[in-house]
Amino acid sequence: MKKKLIRLIGVVFLLIVLLLTAIPFFLESKIGDIIKNNVNNNLDATLDFSSADLSLLSSFPNAQVRLADVSLINKAPFDGDTLFFAKGVVLKMGIGELFKGSGTPISISDFIIDQALLHIMLDKEGNANYDIAKKNPEDTGATSGQSGGFSFNMESYKIKDTRIAYDDFSTGLHLEIAEMNHQGTGDLSLQTSELDTHTDALVSFKMGSTNYLNKNRVRLDALIGIDLNENKYSFLKNEVLVNQLPLVFNGFVKVNEDNQEVDISFKTPSSDFKNFLAVIPEVYSKNIENVKTTGNFVVAGTFKGVVDEVSIPKFNIKINADNASFKYPDLPKSVRAIFMDVEINNTEGIIKNTYLDLQKLSFMIDDDHFNMTSKITELLGNASVNASVDGNINLINISKAYPIPANLDLKGFLNTDFTTVFDRASVENGQYENTRTSGTLAVRDFEYNSEEINAPIKINTAALAFDPKTVVLNTLNGTMGKTDFDVTGTIDNFLGYLFNNEKVEGDFTLRSNVFALDDFMVEENAGGEKENQDTSSEEKIKIPSFLDANFNASANTVIYDNINLTNVRGNLKIKDEKAILSNMTSSLFNGKVIFDGEVSTENETPAFAMKLNMNQLQVDETFKSLQLFKVLAPVAQVLKGNFSSDITLSGKLTDNFTPDLPSLAGDVLANVLTAEINLESTPVLSALGSKLDFIDFDKLNLKELKTKLSFKDGLVSVKPFTINYRDIAINVAGGHAFDSNMNYKVVMEVPAKYLGNEVNDLIAKIDDRSLENITVPVTANIGGAYTSPEITTDLTSGIESLTGRLIEIQKQKFLNKGKSKVKDLIGDVLSGGKKDTMARQDKDSLKERAGDFLGDVLDNKKGGADTVPTKNDAVKEAAKDILGGLFKKKKDTAKAQKDSVN
């Protein structure tokens, strides 16, 4: 009987396990729809997730649902904005909750939210993106207790690695809680219970343009008493760490129908001055356990009142230190005579009527002292500041008394004594006439070094004088690497720069003996962030984005890409990461350069556009030293002499501010004033000279040569131009690529006298002065690379063509000579043969002798030039036909006269 009972229990248990395993396969496809329907039917927003997994075994006797990529998307007026997103959400509930209908809330006992973002927003009209509960037209205002798709019967919960952001665009308030890990346990199903919570997060708080907290570490352990009957939450046992400052607090928050009641007080658990060091972020304050301190530091405060649409709780926060000191054990100096008396108050419960009264803040290091007082009214509204500062500090003493970051190396002396009165609205609206600042601030022997800059900044002297409208920079003299600078001028919006993130506006005079651009390079990785250890980082020059200033600049030497520009003068305007150059002049390569243009680093890739006028520069130095000129005219590197040029060009810049050659486009108009050629260093001219022995390129005259180039996409196009060698006109046209591959055509009108003895002998035999100026066009095609040119010419065919022309000229000359003699002979015959008695046989004999004579002439028997080929027989026959025609005409005329007489 027992065996059967055990067997029955085993079978039942097995069936239960099988059911718990199988049920999720049947319900898993529906559980997602169940959750979505319950939420979306009750919220004016859209819940979605990529997957829903159901498990009954891992959390038995409860069911566990795991949702992935959960999002809650707003509808109008925040249409499309993400209110909530989580990488994962885990819900635990009773198994029976899975079988509830679509309109019935699901009761949740536990949940876990992982890697979430909650972004709460209030727009300028006061609409809140979290106000997503659907409005029931029949709702009279009473709560049903079932708002939303879930009800909570909480036992525990966790929120892991989550960020919560709160933005109120009507007030400019921003609160962010990052890297938040929060968990709580308690039984929220009871009307009165206790919730034990632990929170660890980074908190930032900004109001307008002022940061009050910036990623300050906050740890909170709170035991919260919950009374659901009164909606009251009491702080029973609580401690919070702000950075390392401990605070204990107590009181309660009560949620009413129209507002919330707050009554909370807090204070430091002790008055040890280490509490002050604990306020400073740990990365700066370091380990404070072994710091020796004297004196007291106390923080205490209260919040009491109601929170509604127009009111906040009244509060009072006091911070006090009295004749305190501290000394780090591994540093030689101490900070002493520390006094601090600060009170932050709001006595009316109106947010803008918060004020700060800094009655005293002072300290000493050795004999150095610093004192400050300030009163700020309407701290969270139109803050109005009345402050005064005076001090005399040797900056190196700070690092001897306080553990400043290792990469921050400060040296020098700071002296300041000024007062300022201003309000937030005047600064934000640029109404600086409503502000009053007076006094001085001076720095000498200041040195700042950091891994983020290429060279230490050393300021010999710097002095600012404040007046109500402007800040006068009386002097700023110093060095950075090889660069020295001396700056004077005015700053028009110093307060706007300090407090409103505005750009520095001003007018300055900059003088320098040596100004090296390399000194201003900064290291940035591919993403633009500064790196100290990254070996893949690259150096980039960035025009400061905070400058909106005008500089009248002069420098004896500017070093740019190993090029020394001397006597640089002109105007420099910097705005929006763009440098605009105008009327800039400089000496370069014994010549003068005038340039206008602009350089911009606003985009990821720097860009520039320039106009340059270059006068009397050395050709060889310019074309050897400047990469741009090397690719524009590589052959010019072997010229010695001077040239002038007008250049317009634009394109991109590399990270070290040299032109990115493939991106360049522009035009060049060049004029060679005087030039000699080093033929041995010119592969193109050497190769061309070997093809054309009638030109000595060493004696080529380039004086007053003018040419125009245009270039784009890595190709240079040369406008056709002509140079002369003796009485030879040389026409050049074509172009080349930046990689030095050439495609040029050179056409020379070569006088025949340069083409060899045979041609000259032939011209002499013809004995015609008009042939002394006859020319032959000779074409040279230049291809290949500049260092290994490929040259072809048509010189042989040109000589052959000339020879043919000369032969034809000689033929025509002989032919004309023969015709003249024949005519003379015929004239003699005809003048003596008017008589009709002339015998027929005599006429035939005369015709034969004339034809033989013309043939002899054309055979050159009498001329002696038997080398000229002729068609003898054809010429003879043609001569006879001509003569026969003439005689026949005379005979026919005589016969006609005779017939007329008869």
Residue 365 predicted with pLDDT over 80: yes
From CA 471, how far away is CA 481, in angstroms rounded? Answer: 28
* Exposure string for 858-886, b = 16+ CB within 10 A, e = fewer: bbbeebeeeebebeeeebbebbbebbeeb
Residue 624 per-residue DSSP state: H
What pLDDT is attached to residue 764?
Answer: 72
Burial of 608 (0-12, 13-18, 19+ CB in 10 A): buried
Q: Which of 44-53, 138-147, 673-682 has the lowest mean pLDDT?
A: 138-147
Q: What is the pLDDT of residue 269?
A: 87
Mean pLDDT of 325-340: 92
Q: Among the listed ranges 272-276, 313-317, 538-542, 886-890, which one has the minimum average pLDDT value?
A: 886-890
Phi-psi region of 68 (alpha: psi -120 to 50; beta: other; left: phi over 0): beta
> What is the β-pairing status of strands 106-122 and 150-168?
parallel
Query: To which residue do tokens 């032959």 refer?
Result: 776
Most confident of 452-456, 705-709, 717-721: 717-721
pLDDT of residue 675: 64
Query: Quick one: CA dihedral 209, 213, 215, 220, positive or negative?
Result: negative
pLDDT at 831: 56
Query: Is the omega angle on the peptide bond into residue 403 within 30 degrees of 0, that is, cis?
Result: no
DSSP 319-367: EEEEEEEEE-TTSS--EEEEEEEEEEEESSS-TT--EEEEEEEEEEETT
pLDDT grade for 270, boundaries at 50, 70 and 90:
confident
Averaged pLDDT score across all residues of the chain: 78
The pLDDT value recorded for residue 136 is 60
Is the predicted pLDDT of residue 837 greater than 50, yes or no?
A: no
Where does the pLDDT of residue 902 fall: very low under 50, low under 70, confident under 90, or very high at 90 and above?
very low
Q: How far apart are CA 448 and CA 456, in angstroms?
A: 6
Query: Which amino acid is it at 20?
Result: L
Taking the domains of the chain in order of start, what are their residue ranges?
Answer: 1-133+151-170, 190-200+210-404, 814-901
What's the burial of 527, exposed, middle or buried (CB within 10 Å: 0-12/13-18/19+)?
exposed
Q: Tokens for 500?
A: 């409103």
Q: Give kind and range of the element (H or E) at residue 892.
A: helix 872-901
pLDDT at 880 (0 to 100): 44
**Could you tell me the end-to-end alpha-carbon distance of the chain, in angstroms, rounded to an integer?**
180
Residue 353 has pLDDT above 80, yes or no: yes
657 SS3 class: coil
Top mean pLDDT of 271-280, 379-388, 516-525, 796-805 is at 379-388
What integer pLDDT is reported at residue 27 of this predicted model? 55
Strand 82-94 versus strand 504-516 pairing type: unpaired
Nearest in space to 301 (alpha carbons), one of 353, 232, 249, 227: 249
Q: Strand pairing partners for 47?
A: 72
Q: How far is CA 529 from CA 254, 517, 522, 532, 538, in A?
A: 47, 21, 10, 10, 11
Name the strand (E) or helix (H) holding 35.
helix 2-40
User: Do 782 and 689 meet the contact criterion of CB atoms below 8 Å apart?
Assistant: no
- Taking the CA of residue 702 as centre, how many other CA atoms within 13 Å lie in the half-sphere pointing to its CB? 22
Evaluate whether 820 touches 877 at the Cβ level (below 8 Å): no
Tally of CA atoms within 13 A in the half-sphere of 881 that contains its CB: 6
- The pLDDT of residue 543 is above 90: no
Distance CA 130, CA 501 (A): 31
**Could you tell me how many residues make up the chain?**
902
pLDDT digits (tens, 9 = 90+) for 400-442: 998 887 667 778 899 999 898 988 888 777 777 788 888 999 9
**Model pTM?**
0.59
* Tens of pLDDT, residues 652-670: 888 777 788 888 899 988 8
Instruction: Indicate left, alpha or beta for 226 from its phi (over 0: left) and psi (-120 to 50: alpha).
Output: beta
Please state, in angstroms and as integers, the Cα–Cα distance from residue 899 to each residue in 838, 839, 894, 896, following that order.
18, 19, 9, 5
Q: What is the pLDDT of residues 504-529, one digit of tens each?
A: 889 999 999 998 877 776 555 434 44
In this predicted structure, which of 96-100, 494-498, 683-687, 831-835 has the lowest mean pLDDT? 831-835
**Rounded mean pLDDT of 242-261?**
87
Any idea what the Cα angle at residue 771 is, between residues 768 and 775, rounded to 5°? 175
Closest CA to 799 of 750, 764, 846: 750
DSSP letter at 453 equals: S
Q: Are 227 and 191 in contact (CB under 8 A)?
A: yes
Q: What is the pLDDT of residue 786?
A: 82
Question: How far is C-alpha 481 from the chain's CA centre?
Answer: 25
Contact at 8 Å (CB) between 390 and 371? yes
Distance CA 357, CA 350 (A): 18
Token pair listed for 430: 């640029």
* Contact yes or no for 129/78 (Cβ under 8 A): yes
Tokens describing residue 197 = 């919570």
The fraction of the chain above a pLDDT of 70, given in percent, is: 75
Q: What is the predicted pLDDT for the residue at 407?
A: 67
- pLDDT given for residue 875 in this prediction: 41
